[in-house]
């Protein structure tokens, strides 16, 4: 589920930053639902990962996303 390993990106210098590695079938809404219990909060995940995401509807399997 969550991957605590360090990664490049906005949380790279924070050892406590929380990550999720995108798996098949994931969407930002699903990830928001999983972590926050509310799919409507997906824009916050998108904003936290603007360095790797250009479109909230286009995430790639294996991408490591920071979960605020």
Task: List residues binding another protein (CB under 8 A).
Answer: 2, 4, 13-18, 33-38, 40-41, 44, 67-68
Nearer to another protein, 14 or 58 (CB): 14
Nearer to another protein, 9 or 68 (CB): 68
Nearest distance in Å: CB 37, another protein: 4
Instruction: Give 9-34 as a 3 state SS string.
Output: CCCCCCCCCCEEECCCCCCHHHHHHH
Helix (H, G, I), strand (E, B) or coil at 8: coil
> In 3D, which of 45, 52, 46 has the Cα closest to residue 9?
52
Nearest distance in Å: CB 11, another protein: 8
């Amino acid at each position: 589920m969550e991957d605590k390993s360090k990664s490049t990106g906005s949380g790279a210098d924070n050892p406590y930053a929380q990550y999720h590695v995108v798996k098949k079938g994931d969407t930002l809404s699903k990830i928001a639902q999983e972590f926050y219990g509310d799919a409507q909060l997906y824009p916050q995940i998108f904003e936290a990962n603007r360095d790797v995401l250009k479109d909230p509807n286009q995430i790639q399997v294996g991408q490591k996303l920071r979960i605020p």
